[in-house]
Every structure is written in C-alpha cells, then in structure tokens.
C-alpha cells in the first residue's frame, strides 16, 4: 500500500466482506486510514440460525485439535452430528474442514463404520476435488441434485481456504446450511508463517501493534468468516450456520467472527433444539420470497481470488505431523483478539451510510 501512495495516488477504497477486525488489518497495511465504515448485513435476524454445537448426539465433545482429531469417538460423533443435521436441513448442506487431509481422514473412518452410508441415505454426498476441471464437474452435479424436485438435497464436503469456501456461490437451495468443523490454523512450522510472526513481534518493539500470535489466530478466523459467507447471498436468502467445534463457544474466538453472525450467536446448541432448527426452516420457507429462477449451469464461473498461500496451507498433510494448531491453546493466553470497536460507524467526512447486500467493511483514503 505504501508503494501505491508513493506513486501519487490521491484516493483509494479498500472494501471486502471479510476485512474485520479492521484494527488488525490497518496495522498490517502500515498506513493511516482515517475514514472507516462498517455496514450491517442486509438480512434480518429471522433469516439466519446460528448455534455452537460443542457436543455430538452421543455427548462426546467435538474437539478438532491435533491431539484429539484421531480419537475414534470424536470421529464417530462428528459423523453422527452431520447425519443429524442432514435430516433437518433442506436442500444443500455445506460441511467445511480445516484441511484436505483431515477431510479424507474423516471420510475413511465414516466409510468403515457405515456412517457414510447412513448420511448418503439422507442426502447425496459430494467431496471437493483439488483440480479446477474436476471441481467444475462436481459443482455442476451438486447444483443439479439440489435443483431436482425429487431430491432431498445434497451435501458438499469442502475445505476452508479452498476454492469452494472462498470463490463459489451457494444461494438459496444450494446452501441452506453450513457446518464448520474446526479452526483452520495455518501450519505453525511453515517458514512463511514463522517469518510473519517474527516480523510482527519485532514491530512491537517499535510501536504498539498486534503480536505474531494474535495475527495467527485472526488469520484462522478470517478463513472461517469466508466459509460461512457462502450461504447468505442476497436479501431474501436464509440458512443455518452450525459451529460444530467446542472452541467456538469461547468468547475469545467468537469476538472475531463476522458481526452479523456474532450478533445472532446467542446460546450453545442443546439436543432438544433440533425442533427449533426445523421450525426455523418452516417459518423462513413460508414467510420469505421464493427464490428467483436459477442461472444456467453453463454460466457458472469460478472466482480466482483464493490466494496461492491459502490453497497451499489447505493442501498440507496434517495427519502425521502436528502443523496446524499445536500452539492454539498457548496463543489464546498471550493476548485477547483485536478490539471490535470498529463495529460501529466512525466517519470523519460527509459520507452517507448505505445498507449493502453483504456484511461489508471498507476503508477509504481521502485526498
């Protein structure tokens, strides 16, 4: 950004749906941004159902940390949790994992215990491939299944930081629910991660900035925010967001979730609330406008904005070496997440506030 300013640019606008928390972003940019605007989401509270699911149907904790992810009881409980919600969520259901290797590990376990077969009796399952050509074919099949009036819908198992979580549209019946199975921490021993953390820690000696560990935590939550943004795509859309991981019950994790989700994250999911989830879909289906006709399958295009580093981190093998979240418990003790004070409007110029079709955060550099 400093390079652009040095080129004589007088004004620029930086905008996205997942910039929050803004203080952390501005510190990373290392430039002064006096005008900041955070917009609320255009949807109403009755259009989104948000819960933290800390335990499975068998009361086993849903804990995807490295030390627990190979626990057979956890694997079974997560699979049965997905099965439980697949029976209630109409249309398309998105299930996001922290890496390709972990997703494959779960699938192997579920296929060996018939959990996979039980889920497929409810909804057809699609799994995110790692090549663009295969992804196009898989996505078309997924869309067709959800558009089929005789179908009960489909499940798309995908990876946070991958193409599906950051570049594709799952409006209306293509995505009525999203399950988040963990926190996608970047590989702690990756040289780029280590250098980034060292750089930020070094900067703290010069001025009051976030530490490398705080950045590390924020980076994981930003990937979550990207994924959950797949299901609410316009003002009449609706869906459920289910955080199936106990750490999302912690205040320090919730504080950096997108504001429009956080304000609806009231209580932890209880076993009896499956009836509330079913009623949510009944009410939304009756009271909200019917979806507009779908675009033709041939017109679907892929967003190329997923960074090479995000894709690299998503593809890393994490089943044999502790590379993803070995230090997450220590990180949580080293400092609170960045303040959310910018959730309210802070303007220093005559800007008219507008409601947007997304939870949009923007920063503008004046003349």
pLDDT 10s digits, 132-188: 889 989 999 999 999 998 999 999 999 998 888 877 889 899 999 999 999 999 888
Determine phi and psi for 48, rounding to 5 degrees. Answer: -140, 135
Quote the pLDDT of residue 294: 56
Decide: 168 and 51 in contact? Cβ < 8 Å. Answer: no
Domains by residue range for the chain, with CATH: 2-39+345-365 (no CATH), 45-341 (3.40.50.300)
Residues ≥6 apart with Cβ < 8 Å to 180: 96, 160, 224, 227, 228, 241, 242, 243, 244, 245, 248
Residue 38: count other Cβ atoms within 10 Å of its Cβ: 21
Nearest to 311 by CA among 131, 66, 103: 131
Encoding tokens for residue 166? 């950051």
Quote the pLDDT of residue 298: 47
Decide: 96 and 179 in contact? Cβ < 8 Å. Answer: yes
> How far is CA 267 from its chain centroid?
19
Nearest to 107 by CA among 88, 129, 85: 129
Nearest to 21 by CA among 222, 251, 271, 203: 222
What is the Cα–Cα distance from 80 to 176, expressed in whole angstroms? 19
Quote the pLDDT of residue 343: 35
- In sequence order, what E strands does 106-202 have? 124-127, 154-159, 177-180
pLDDT 10s digits, 247-294: 998 888 888 888 888 888 877 777 767 888 999 999 999 998 887 655
Residues ≥6 apart with Cβ < 8 Å to 117: 111
Cis peptide bond prior to 71, omega within 30° of 0: no
Tallying the residues shown for the chain, one arrives at 367
| Side-chain half-sphere exposure of 262, counting CA atoms within 13 A | 19
Low-confidence ranges of the chain (pLDDT < 50): 296-299, 317-367
Quote the pLDDT of residue 204: 74
What is the Cα–Cα distance from 33 to 31, expressed in whole angstroms? 6
pTM of the model: 0.79
Nearest to 343 by CA among 16, 40, 27, 25: 40
Nearest to 190 by CA among 2, 350, 323, 14: 323
| Side-chain half-sphere exposure of 8, counting CA atoms within 13 A | 0
Degrees, nearest 5: CA angle 343-347-351: 115
What is the Cα–Cα distance from 179 to 85, expressed in whole angstroms? 9
What is the Cα–Cα distance from 234 to 217, expressed in whole angstroms? 29
């Amino acid at each position: 950004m400093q390079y652009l300013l040095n080129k004589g640019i007088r004004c620029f606008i930086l905008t996205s749906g997942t910039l929050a928390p803004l203080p952390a972003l501005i510190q990373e940019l290392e430039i002064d941004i006096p005008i900041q605007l955070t917009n609320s989401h255009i949807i109403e509270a009755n259009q989104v159902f948000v819960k933290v699911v800390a335990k499975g149907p068998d009361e086993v904790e849903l804990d995807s940390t490295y030390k627990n992810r190979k626990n057979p009881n956890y694997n079974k409980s997560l699979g049965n949790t997905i099965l439980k919600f697949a029976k209630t969520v109409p249309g398309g259901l998105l299930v996001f994992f922290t890496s390709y290797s972990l997703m494959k590990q779960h699938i192997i376990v579920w296929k060996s215990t018939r959990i996979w077969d039980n889920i497929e009796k409810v909804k057809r399952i699609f799994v995110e491939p790692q090549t663009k050509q295969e992804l196009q074919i898989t996505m078309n099949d997924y869309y067709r299944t959800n558009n089929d009036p005789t179908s009960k819908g489909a499940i798309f198992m995908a990876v946070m930081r991958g193409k599906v979580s950051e570049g594709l549209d799952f409006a209306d019946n293509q995505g009525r629910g999203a399950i988040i199975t963990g926190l996608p921490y970047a590989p702690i021993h990756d040289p780029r991660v280590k250098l980034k953390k060292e750089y930020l820690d070094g900067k703290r000696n010069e001025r009051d900035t976030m530490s490398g560990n705080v950045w590390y935590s924020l980076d994981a939550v930003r990937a979550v925010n990207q994924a959950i943004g797949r299901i609410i795509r316009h003002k009449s859309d609706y869906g459920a967001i289910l955080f199936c991981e106990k750490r999302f019950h912690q205040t320090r994790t919730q504080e950096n979730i997108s504001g429009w989700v956080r304000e609806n994250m009231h209580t932890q999911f209880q076993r009896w609330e499956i009836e509330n989830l079913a009623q949510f879909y009944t009410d939304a289906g009756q009271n909200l406008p019917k979806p507009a006709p779908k675009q033709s399958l041939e017109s679907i295009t892929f967003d190329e904005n997923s960074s090479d580093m995000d894709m690299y981190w998503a593809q890393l093998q994490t089943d044999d070496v502790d590379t993803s979240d070995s230090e997450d418990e220590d990180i949580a003790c080293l400092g609170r997440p960045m303040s959310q004070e910018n959730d309210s409007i802070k303007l220093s110029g005559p800007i008219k506030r507008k409601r947007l079709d997304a939870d949009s955060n923007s920063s503008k550099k004046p003349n």
